Structure 1
Amino acid sequence: MSHVNIQDYEKAAQALLEPAYWDYYAGGSDDEITLRANRAIFDHIRLRPRILKDVTTCDTTTTALGTPLPMPIIVAPTACHNLAHPEGECETVRGVSQAGTIMTASSVSSRSLEEIAEAASTPLWFQLYIYQDRSITINLLERARQTGYRAIVLTVDVPRLGNRERDLRNNFKRLDSANFVVNDVTQLRRSLTWKDITWLRSLTPLPLLIKGILTAEDAIIALEHGVDGIIVSNHGGRQLDGAISGLEALPEIVEAVAGRCEIYVDGGIRRGTDVLKALALGARAVLVGRPILWGLTVKGQDGVNHILELLKSELELAMALCGCPTLNDITPSLVKL
C-alpha cells in the first residue's frame, strides 16, 4: 500500500497494532471532547492566500532555541514506543535523524535516555516530570546534561493522570520506563507549584521550556520564572477534557509574551496547512506526536522520516500557494478565525 499522507499511516497503524495499544496511543480523557477539538480547530480556520508572489523557492528552515532546523516541525514527547516497534525510541530517533529535526525524548520512554542519545544523529530535547522524590528529578537532569540533550521540556499539566477510559476498559498497564528502576505515576509531584520551577531553573544550565500552558496569565508567570520557551499544549487531549485546544490558546499567549520567549504549539497537526496556520498565529514551530507513532508502527525509522518529510513538503506547497516564500512571510493576516 502506498502511504501518501498521514491519514494513510493512521489507518495502517490501527490495523497493525493490538487494540489496547492503539487505544493507548490514540485515546483521550473522559468523552474525548478536547481530543476531537484539537483536530477540529484546524479544519475551522481558513487561509487567505496572496497571489502573484515569487514562490520559485520556499524556504522552510528555521531555528529552535538557536538550533538550526530544516523545518518548523519538532517531534513531541510520547511514551512507550516499544508498543509500536521492538527497538522503541531508538528506531524513532533514527528516523528523526534522517529528517534532521529535533526529537523530544519522553522521561517515560521504553529505551533509556542514554540509549536514545547513542542512536541519534540529531539534536535532542528531554521531557521531564518533577517527582515526589526530588533525587529522581535531579538524577534525570544530570543524565540529560551529560548525554548531550540540548533542552529540558518540563510537563506541568499532570498533577494527576487524566481519566483515560479506553485504558480502563482494556485494563491497560503502561510498561515501566527504562529511565527508572521503578516507574510509578503516583510518584509524580502533585503539589507542583511555581516555586518548583525556580528550583528546577537553579539546577540546570540547559534551556527550560514549560509544556502544558493554555492561558496568557500562566504564560506571563512562566516568563517571570525565567523560562526559555513555552509549549502551548493540552497533552493531546489526555488530561482535562473540555480544555481549549493549543491552537485556540495560542493567540492570547503570543500577545501576552510579546516576543520575550519562543512559543511552540502541539495537538492535532496532520497536514502542512496545519503547520502553516500555527505559524500564522505566532508559533515558532509545532510539535507532532501521534503521527510519529503511526509512522514507526508501519515502517519503522523510514516511516518516521516519511511522516516528517510529508509534513515538510506539504508545508512548502502551502507556502507557495499562499504566496509565502519564507516563514517570515507567514503572518496573522494569512488566517481567518
Structure 2
Amino acid sequence: MFEGIEFLNKEFFWLLLILPVAILWYIFKFQKQTAELKISSLKGFKATPSILPKFRHVLFLMRLLALAALITALARPRTVDVSTKTKTTRGIDIVMAIDVSASMLARDLKPNRLEALKEVASEFIKGRPNDRIGLVEYAGESYTKTPITSDKAIVLRSLDDIKYNTIIEGGTAIGMGLATSVNRLKDSKAKSKVIILLTDGVNNTGFIDPKIASELAVEYGIKTYTIGLGTNGMALSPIGIKPNGQFQYGRVQVEIDEELLKEIATATGGKYFRATDNKKLAEIYDEINKLEKTEIEEFKFYNYEEKFRPLVILAGLLLALELLLRVTIFRSFV
C-alpha cells in the first residue's frame, strides 16, 4: 500500500499509541453508562425490535479511523521521483599504438600475443564509454587504423580487423608508432590526452627516433603508457615461412627494449608495464583504466508529491459522517 511512499515526519506515528488508550477508555465509559434496573415484570412495556443499537459502536470506530488518518497525514507521506542527469566534465582522448610485427604471433600468450592483446584491449574500450579512442598500427612503418572517435562500435570492429600482414614493412619502428599517435592527438581539445604504446621488441627500423617522438608527446602534453609484451626467457615465435605460406615456429629469445620504454613513459608522465602472460596483460589495462579516470558530474532532480491531503479529507469526511449519524439515525441511542 505504501510502496514508493516515504514519511518525512515519522515521529508523529508515536501518536498512534493514543488509539489503544482511546479504545480502553471507550470500553470503560460504556460499561459505566450501562445501568441495571430490576423490575418484577416487563408486561407493561411494549418492545420495538431494532438493530440500530447494535451498530452504535460504528460511530466510535469512525472517530478512531479519522484520528488515525490525521496522525498519518501529520507524518507527511509523499512520493519521490528521482531523475538523474550525468555530465562528463573531463573527457580523455586515447590512442592505442599496437605493434603488429610478426613476433606478435608468438605463442607465449594464448592463443598468441596479438589475439591476447585484442581481447584485453576490447574490454578496455568497452569500459571507456565517455572517452574518444583511436587505433594506430605499426611494424616497420605505421599508419592510423582508426582516428579518435566516440563511436566504440567502429573502434571495436577496427580492433578485431587487426591482423599480421605482409603489407606493412617488417621490423619494429617504435618511434614511428609513437609519432603517428602523437600526430592523431596533437590537435585534440580534450583535457587529457593519452597514448598506450605496446610492443614486444626493440626499435630496429623507422626514420623517427623514439626519443624525438617522446619529446613531441611532451610538447603537446600527451601522456604515454608503455607496455612490453612477452614472457621472460624463450618464446615459441615465427622464425620462417614454409612453402605452403604458413609460419614455421621455433624457440626464440624474448628481447624487449625496456630501458627505452621506461624512458618514454617517464619523460611523458606515464608509466611502464611488463606483461608476461594473459593475466598480467589484463591487470595492466585495468590499472591504466583506474589511473585515467574520466570525471563525471551527476545531477539528481527530486520531484516530491505530497500525499497527506487525501488523508485529511478522509478524516474530515469520517468526522462529518459521524456527527451526521449521531444527530439523526443514532440520536436515540447515543
Normalization by structure 1: what TM-score? 0.29
- Structure ID, larger Rg: 2
User: Which one has the bigger strand percentage?
Assistant: 2
Give 1 or 2: higher helix fraction: 1
RCO comparison, higher one (Cα < 8 Å, 6+): 1
